[in-house]
């Protein structure tokens, strides 16, 4: 029975990690086309990733968008989580479900709805539309993760600060925020990775010359079938994995998700 369990575990790990390993190996191919097994091993396509101008521009936009949208989601999500956990307003569960809706609804529907009812009627720019769309997607993560931190913070600590003369805002800034900083950092990391790797919403909201890195990779593969996309995919996967591992080591990310 134990041997069967080990075999099952190995099969699950192979199913989960296998595609990632295949992509990484394919990105190290010395051949001219994307294939597996690779035609020899070389770092030429890894170097090629840094030479493609569209990749560099899209990476800069994705990085800026991920950081900006995550910060905006935290600015909106932290007060919302605090109000839901501390004041328990009427219909708190309904509000919580509404806030969580962007996670439940498929990204394609969210992207289409934003395009049809926000971008087209208002005529806003592509970058602004992407920023709004990504922020809307990240607010639920900020609310959920910060709420988990607030649940573990005793309310009487904040009340003690108020009784000692601090204002509600002062108690929130000097007592609550420092005690939930790990949860805030965890929410930032989750939001950053989610935004950076976002495809469905970005696909609808991108425009000529303004695309995020995942979308630019899709467009690149329409006209090129070399291993550079596989090399870039491997680099991005390693970057995301490194961020998650550091977050788990430093913050204990699994406590908040």
Which residues, at least 6 apart from 153, have a Cβ–Cβ distance to it below 8 Å? 176, 179, 180
Select from 21, 5, 6 the least CA-distant residue to 230.
21
Question: How many domains are there within the chain?
Answer: 1
Cis peptide leading into residue 37 (ω within 30°):
yes
Q: What is the pLDDT of residue 23?
A: 82
Contact present, 145 and 127 (Cβ < 8 Å): no
Quick check: is 23 in a domain?
no
CA distance 123 to 70: 24
What residues does 29 pair with on adjacent strands? 41
**Is 173 within the bounds of a domain?**
yes
Dist CA 240 CA 197 (whole Å): 9
Query: What is the rounded (10 degree) CA torsion for 115, 117, 121, 124?
Result: -50
Residue 10 lies in a domain: no
Q: What is the pLDDT of residue 74?
A: 93
33 within a domain of the structure (yes/no): no
Residue 48 lies in a domain: no
Tokens linked to 249: 């080591």
Domain containing 149 equals: 53-255
User: Residue 247 sits in a domain of what CATH number?
Assistant: 1.10.3720.10
Q: What is the pLDDT of residue 75?
A: 93
**SS3 annotation, the chain:** CHHHHHHHHHHHHHHHHHHHHHHHHHCCECCCCCCCCCCCECCHHHHHHCCCHHHHHHHHHHHHHHHHHHHHHHHHHHHHHHHHHHCCCCCHHHHHHHHHHHHHCCHHHHHHHHHHHHHHHHCCCHHHHHHHHHHHHHHHHHHHHHHHHHHCCCHHHHHHHHHCCCCHHHHHHHHHHHHCHHHHHHHHHHHHHHHHCCCHHHHHHCECCECCHHHHHHHHHHHCCCCHHHHHHHHHHHHHHHHHHHHHHHHCHHHCC
pTM: 0.83
Q: For the chain, how many residues are written? A: 257
Decide: residue 57, CB within 10 A, 0-12 exposed, 13-18 middle, 19+ buried. Answer: middle
Task: Supply the pLDDT for residue 109.
Answer: 83
Q: What is the pLDDT along the chain (257 residues), one digit of tens a residue?
A: 556 667 888 888 888 887 888 888 888 887 777 777 777 777 888 888 888 888 888 999 999 999 999 999 999 999 888 888 877 777 777 877 778 777 777 878 888 888 888 888 887 888 888 898 899 889 988 988 888 888 887 777 777 877 877 777 888 888 888 888 888 888 898 889 889 888 888 888 887 778 888 888 888 888 878 888 888 888 888 887 887 777 777 666 555 55
Name, in order, each residue with C-beta under 8 angstroms of 245's C-beta and a sequence gap of 6 or more.
none
Please indicate, yes or no, if residue 75 is contained in any of the structural domains: yes
pLDDT of residue 64: 93
Is residue 195 within 8 A of residue 137, CB to CB? The reply is yes
For residues 205 and 115, the answer to whether their CB atoms sit within 8 Å is yes
> Has residue 27 been placed in a domain?
no
């Amino acid at each position: 029975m134990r041997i069967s369990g080990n075999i099952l575990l190995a099969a699950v790990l192979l199913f989960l990690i296998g595609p990632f390993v295949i992509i990484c190996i394919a990105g190290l191919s010395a051949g001219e086309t994307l294939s597996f097994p690779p035609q020899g091993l070389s770092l030429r396509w890894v170097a090629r990733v840094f030479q493609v101008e569209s990749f560099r521009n899209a990476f800069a936009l994705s990085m800026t968008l991920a950081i900006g949208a995550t910060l905006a989601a935290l600015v909106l999500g932290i007060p919302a989580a605090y109000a839901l956990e501390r004041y328990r307003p009427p219909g708190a569960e309904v509000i919580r479900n509404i806030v969580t809706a962007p996670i439940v609804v498929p990204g394609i529907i969210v992207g289409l709805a934003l395009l049809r009812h926000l971008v087209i009627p208002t005529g806003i720019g592509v970058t602004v539309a992407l920023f709004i769309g990504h922020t809307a997607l990240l607010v639920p993560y900020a609310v959920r993760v910060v709420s988990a931190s607030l649940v573990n913070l005793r309310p009487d600590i904040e009340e003690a600060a108020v009784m000692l003369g601090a204002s509600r805002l002062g108690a929130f800034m000097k007592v609550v925020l420092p005690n939930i900083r790990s949860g805030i950092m965890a929410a930032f990391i989750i939001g950053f990775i989610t935004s950076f790797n976002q495809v469905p919403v970005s696909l609808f909201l991108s425009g000529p010359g303004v695309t995020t890195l995942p979308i630019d990779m899709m467009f690149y593969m329409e006209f090129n079938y070399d291993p550079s996309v596989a090399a870039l995919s491997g680099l991005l996967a390693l970057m995301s994995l490194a961020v998650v591992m550091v977050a788990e080591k430093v913050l204990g990310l699994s406590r908040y998700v």
